[in-house]
Amino acid sequence: MLTSVNMPLTQELHIIRAHHLYYVSLLEDFRKHIFFIRDTHNPALDSLPKSEQDFSDSLLKRECTNLLGQIERFQQNLTMQERRLKNVMDLVSTITI
């Protein structure tokens, strides 16, 4: 049974959890957009000389790879924060019992 002392803490933890889930979904959407940009041909580049097309393509792929690496690091940090949040929620649950 939750006491009135633990209720605000429990509510805050659930709000943090909701925000966490929202950011996880945002990161996944961002990752999908990067894959789309990286893998979809840009017709605006067709008017450029072949050397500039190749340079733009390699630059785009490199930057997409960098962004995907950053997203992977964010996802690892989110996983670690999720574990910490679960530990705190379990601790609050144990204290309440």
For residue 39, being part of any structural domain is answered with: yes
The answer to whether residue 81 sits within a structural domain is yes
Tokens in use for 61?
Answer: 């792929």
Q: Which residue, among 53, 62, 6, 54, has the nearest Cα to 34 in the 3D structure?
A: 62
Give me the number of domains the chain comprises: 1
Does residue 73 lie in a domain region?
yes
Would residue 1 count as lying in a domain?
no
- Measure the CA–CA gap between 60 and 32, rounded to whole angstroms: 15
Contact indicator for 1, 90 with CB cutoff of 8 Å: no
**Alpha-carbon distance 31 to 70, whole Å?**
10
Domain that includes residue 71, residue range: 6-96
pLDDT tens digits for the chain (97 residues)? 445 566 777 788 889 889 999 999 999 999 999 999 999 999 988 999 999 999 999 999 999 999 999 999 999 999 999 999 888 888 877 776 5
Q: How far is CA 5 from CA 35, 66, 89, 94, in A?
A: 47, 46, 15, 14
Assess if residue 27 is contained within a domain.
yes
pLDDT reported for residue 2: 47
